[in-house]
Amino acid sequence: MRATKARPVTSNAGRGAFELNQDAVRISNVVATRQATRSDELRDHLEEMILDGRLAPGERLDEMELSRRFGLSRTPVREAIKSLLAIGLIETRGRQGTHVALLSIPAIIEMFDVMASLEGLCAKLAARRATPTERAAMRAVHEELVKAYEAGDPVNFYKINQQFHDLLYEAAHTHFIAEQTIQLRRRIGAYRLRATYQPGRMLGTLAEHVRIMDSIDAGDPDAAQKAASDHVQLLGDQLTDFISSLPPRLNLSQ
């Protein structure tokens, strides 16, 4: 069948099997909003699937199967895979196809070390640069987080927690550091998800957030840096403990 014949729609409306509207280029520094290509859509879609666990670490990504599933040719599929490969979210084993990245525990520990450093940097900058509005926004989101905790809603807690951290990056008025941090968060995401609901973690998170906000409000960059860094480090410790405690079969640490 011919290229265009296959496509039901050629305009921008209702583009594919899955809906993802146009997006600003996120990975690079470009600001301009551009038409999302099928390749871009698929990249984002796959990323989302990896992050929310629909694609488990180690799972195979078959080009043909993805083509069929999303009604695309192999070209955009391959390009999406190339992008995710470069980011490190998926990996290739020679000619045995590509798989969702399988992280070893040492690798995860290192990632959290870096994550802690980056978050610390953001907090440090936020302590110097955050506007009153931004500080207030963090407090407000934190209130939401408390509510989610009190309601015993871990799913919401997870989402709002991300919002809190996004606000922190914003308050730091950075571009590159925030981007780098978010990218790393994505890369760990598949694992992080599996350990969110650890006993005591939510309560710990709340206390640590308060410490971060207080340091920022006090205008103490070093304290803020340490608070944010410790916060991430604690999460990392708990996560690696959790993974280590799993039975070897489910351990995921290859």
Partner DNA sequence: AAAATAATATCCGTATACATTTACCTATTG
Partner DNA sequence: CAATAGGTAAATGTATACGGATATTATTTT
Interface contacts to DNA, rule CB under 7 A: 1-4, 6-7, 10-12, 35, 37-39, 62-64, 71-76, 78-79, 92, 94-98
Site string for its own copies, 10-29 (x = CB under 8 A): ---------------x-xxx
Report the SS3 class of residue 63: helix
- State both tokens at 51: 């992050």
Which of its own copies, DNA, none does 6 bind, CB closer than 5 to 8 A by kind? Answer: DNA
Beta bridge partner(s), residue 60: 99
**Nearest-CA neighbor of 252 among 169, 192, 191?**
191
> Which token pair is 234?
């604690």
Q: Which is nearer to its own copies, 143 or 222 (CB)?
A: 222
Given a contact cutoff of 8 angstroms between Cβ atoms, the answer to whether 229 and 117 are in contact is yes
Q: By C-beta, is 37 or 163 nearer to DNA?
A: 37
| Least separation in angstroms between CB 85 and its own copies | 6
Residue 92 to residues 39, 88, 174, Cα–Cα distance (Å): 19, 10, 33
Closest to DNA by CB, 42 or 243: 42
Structure tokens at 43: 């990249």
Q: Contacting its own copies (CB under 8 A), which of 72, 77, 111, 141?
A: 111
Rule CB under 8 A: which of 59-78 touch its own copies? 75, 78
In the set 177, 182, 193, 210, which binds its own copies (CB under 8 A)? 177
Q: Which does 107 bind (CB under 5 to 8 A by kind): its own copies, DNA, none?
A: its own copies
From the list DNA, its own copies, none, partner contacted by residue 133 (C-beta under 5 to 8 A by kind)? none
**Angle at CA of residue 154, ends 152 and 157, nearest 5°:** 100
Rounded CA-CA distance 135/251 in Å is: 40
Given 61, 83, 148, 243, the residue binding its own copies (CB under 8 A): 83
Min. distance of Cβ 17 from DNA in angstroms?
11
Q: How big is the chain by its Cα radius of gyration, in Å?
A: 20
Q: In 3D, which of 146, 189, 182, 151 has the Cα closest to residue 167?
A: 182
State in angstroms the smallest separation of the CB of 77 from its own copies.
12
Tokens of 72: 């695309």
Q: Which two tokens stand for residue 129?
A: 């640069």
Per-residue contact flags (x/-) with its own copies for residues 27 to 56, judged by CB under 8 A: xxxx-x-xx---x-----------------
